[in-house]
Copies of this chain bind each other. A is one copy, B any other.
């Protein structure tokens, strides 16, 4: 799959580790930055990632910052994105099964590398359940309804 990954400075090491992990699994990974540890603003990279997913350049996105909170809010500003902030695999699986999430967010200062990999595994291997969930997911792209 085509997977885009982005972070802020606080999550640059986790981004590098997960990029390597996903590449090792055979995915086509685009690293949208940042490229250095210089301080940046997480919304900028959240919006960049959201645009990549919304535009079809990536099937899924991985969004990382210190807590995962800020960048998850930023990604969810884009109506084409459904970003789930998770810290364990059950939530990562439910995000796909119930919410058809296309972006997963995690906090580099809160979630360790092996847990983060387990969350990615659950996210990438769980299918959307459809059925009663489909109408709810559709409403997430139409806040006026």
Contacts and interface: CB of A to CB of B under 8 A. Distances in A.
Interface in A91-145: 91, 94-95, 98-99, 101, 107, 110, 132, 135-136, 139-140, 143, 145
A67 interface: yes
A87 interface: yes
Contact of A67 (B66, B74, B91, B110): B91
For chain A, which range describes its interface: under 10, 10 to 19, 20 to 34, or 35 or more residues? 35 or more
- Smallest CB-CB A-B distances: 3 pairs: A76-B76, A43-B139, A77-B143
B98 A67 contact: yes
Q: How many copies does the complex hold?
A: 2
A74 B43 contact: no
A41 interface: yes
Contacts of A73: 76, 82-84, 99, 101, 140
Contact of A99 (B70, B78, B99): B70
Interface of A: 39, 41-44, 47, 66-67, 69-70, 72-74, 76-79, 82-88, 90-91, 94-95, 98-99, 101, 107, 110, 132, 135-136, 139-140, 143, 145
